[in-house]
Every structure is written in C-alpha cells, then in structure tokens.
Amino acid sequence: MVDQVQKEFRKRDLLYSGALWLLSLILPDPQLHYRREYRIRKRDLFYLSVLLLLPLIWKDVHFHHLMVLAGIHGILALGLTLFLGYAGQISLGHAAFFGIGSYTTAILTTRYAIPSFFAFWASGLAASFFAYLIGKPILKLKGYFLALATLGFGEIFLVMVRESPGLTGGVIGIFNIPFFSLAGLVFDTYLKQYYLVWGVLSGLVLFSKNLVRSRIGRAFLAVASSEDGASAVGIDVGRVKLAAFVIGASFAGLAGSLFASVMSIANPETFSLNLSVLIVMMVILGGMGNLYGPIAGAIFLTCLIDGLSRYQAYSLPIYGVILILLLIFFPDGIGTRLRVRVIYLISYWGRKKRREKVEI
C-alpha cells in the first residue's frame, strides 16, 4: 500500500513539475535580478522564434499593423521600466521624449534629407540630451511631485511644438516622412516594419538585460528600495537616477524615430498626456522590475485599445473602467499575479491528489 502511494507520488510529481517547467519556458521569472550575468536561455529562443514566425503564420495586415504599434509601445515601456520598474521613480512625461525623437527624425529626414538610419540614432541622442537637461534639476523630487514635474515638462513640450510652426509644423504636424531605409532596403510594408520594430526591440531587450545585471543596474534596484541605504553604501543616488532617466528617454527617442518613419507623420496630438499614462499603465500591468512584462503589457494594451475602438464613443469610458479594474485586481502586474496563481493551481492539483491518496 505504502509502496504504491509512493510510486504514484513520483509520477504526479513528475507531471506537475513538468508543467511548471513548461511554464518557466514561457513566463519570465520576476525575481531573477540577482543573477550576475545574462546568458541566453531556452525561453528567449522560444520568444524569438515565436516573434519570427508569428507574422508569417498569421498573414493579416491589420494584425501586422497592430504588432508594429505594439512593438513601438514595447520599446517605450521598456525604456520606462528601467526608470519606473527598476529605479523606482515615476515619470508622466515620457511621451515628450517620444515626441522629441519623432520630431528629430521628421525634421532631419524631410528638411535636410538625412538618411533615416542616421536620423534614428540622432533621435535617440536628442531625446537623451533633453532628458539630461530636464532630469538634472527635477530628479531631486520624489513621488507625486516628480510625477507632476515630469507631467509639466510634457505639457511644456506640447505647447512649444504647437507654437513653433516654422520648425514642427504646429498643430498640423509634419507629413510625408520617408519610410525607414537601410542599404537600399525600404521598409514600406507592415510586414517589413514588423521585423524592423521587433528587431530593434530585441536588441534593446538584450541591452537592458545586460544593463540591469551590471553595476549600475544593481544600483537602480538599490535606489528603488531605499535612497538613504543606497547612498550609505556609496551609490551616487542623483547620478543613478539621472542615468535611468536618460537611458529610458533615449529608448523613447528611438521609439519616436521608428514611429515617425513607420507612420510617416508627426503630430502633437500623438504625444499628449494620454500616451504617458498609457506607457505607465503598460509598465504597471507588466509588473515592476521585470523586462518582458512591460512588453507583454504593451501588446495587451495595444490590442485592448484596438479591440475597444469598435465601440466608438463608448470605448473611452470602457477603457477607463478596465484600467481601474486591472489596477485593483492586478496591482503587481498581470504576469506576476497570473504566474503565482498558475503555480499555486498546479501545486494545488498535485497536493490534492496526494491528499486523497493519503486519506485512503
């Protein structure tokens, strides 16, 4: 009797640990900061192959377009998660850096006919330059006041864009921005743009993965958990926060450049407070302090907004309600919460079987 129970145990154990292993292949583990260096895991290869094959399997133009948008939002959310999720600071002005990147590309390619490849890097540089200028004075603020100051920066950016039509085209914006092109290859279809955007995103993920395991990445986490503690162990808190802000902004600038050359339009309405709120939501729903989460959050929210847009006037109220419900029920991110739930369910299933056996 005992032998039989023991034997069945092992079988079940194998089963649900197998399920857990499968899960670990798909879902990222949010608590892996302590690993010092990054090695490519099976999970990353799995994501990469899905990424490569998905548009080839699902040949829907609307889906491709949606995924291009989701990839751009993913770059934005990835940049913000370094600042919000890792360094623990809040920014409601991230859309402004997106806008700076967008307008840099728009102006350089339409006025000065600079190749979009160079404009792409110039956008990242411009955004990080402005982030350095604005971050230097305001990053001494904390909490709500930092949120308000960054929000103020975003609003000032919008006013400047609207009021200088000579440079930015005013409220109308800049049209006919050429598509991204590299060595004669023009990214003019949604499929090509998909590979462009997600390729850039993969590169940035690799960069961020190494960054958060470097000295400065661990300094981000230390600053997030306690500024006093971080400065007590010799971390220059101001510099670390500024670094997180500037890196996040440069990601946003690159995303803005991609957005301008994919949509071939730069318009101030795109870079309003709503976009900043959306990016912060992506990071929160993806889970703080984890790199794949915000990208998943970006895909989820982009699809949600697209799905809601069919309800016309009702879409915004529904969107507001869904946001609040998600915040109430998944405050530490959908992925984190779901992962805990699924692991609990699987282990519960194992325990239940075991309990039944033992009772006999």
Q: Which residues bind other proteins (CB under 8 A)?
A: 84, 90, 92, 137-138, 141-145, 147-149, 151-153, 155-156, 159-160, 162-163, 273-274, 277, 280-281, 284, 313-314, 316-317, 319-321, 323-324, 327-328, 331
Q: How far is the CB of 280 from other proteins (least distance, A)?
A: 6
Specify whether the CB–CB gap between 255 and 203 falls below 8 A: no
Q: How far is the CB of 281 from other proteins (least distance, A)?
A: 6
Of 122 and 147, the one with the shorter C-beta distance to other proteins is: 147
Of 18 and 331, the one with the shorter C-beta distance to other proteins is: 331
Of 32 and 156, the one with the shorter C-beta distance to other proteins is: 156
Of 115 and 152, the one with the shorter C-beta distance to other proteins is: 152
Q: How far is the CB of 314 from other proteins (least distance, A)?
A: 7
Q: How far is the CB of 286 from other proteins (least distance, A)?
A: 13
CA distance 273 to 151: 7
Q: Hey, CA dihedral for 308, 314, 316, 322, is it positive or negative?
A: negative
Of 139 and 295, the one with the shorter C-beta distance to other proteins is: 139
Roughly what angle, to the nearest 10 degrees, separates helices 237-263 and 116-138?
150
DSSP element (H, E) containing 256: helix 237-263
Specify whether the CB–CB gap between 100 and 127 falls below 8 A: yes
CA distance 102 to 161: 12
Q: How far is the CB of 277 from other proteins (least distance, A)?
A: 5
Of 264, 258, 135, 281, nearest to 203 by C-alpha is 258
Hey, is 97 helix, strand or coil?
Answer: helix
User: Tokens 């991110």 identify what position?
Assistant: 333
CA distance 285 to 300: 9
Whole-number Cα distances in Å, 43 to 13, 32, 93, 112, 298: 22, 14, 33, 43, 19
* Residue 234 region by backbone torsions, left for phi larger than 0, else alpha for psi between -120 and 50, else beta: left
Q: How far is the CB of 92 from other proteins (least distance, A)?
A: 8
Amino acid (1-letter code) at residue 231? S
Of 83 and 194, the one with the shorter C-beta distance to other proteins is: 83
Output the CA angle 289-238-327, nearest 5 degrees.
30
Of 242 and 343, the one with the shorter C-beta distance to other proteins is: 242
Of 213 and 337, the one with the shorter C-beta distance to other proteins is: 337
Q: How far is the CB of 148 from other proteins (least distance, A)?
A: 7
Specify whether the CB–CB gap between 290 and 208 falls below 8 A: no
Q: How far is the CB of 349 from other proteins (least distance, A)?
A: 30
Specify whether the CB–CB gap between 282 and 297 falls below 8 A: yes
Of 1 and 328, the one with the shorter C-beta distance to other proteins is: 328
Specify whether the CB–CB gap between 216 and 90 falls below 8 A: no
Q: How far is the CB of 97 from other proteins (least distance, A)?
A: 16
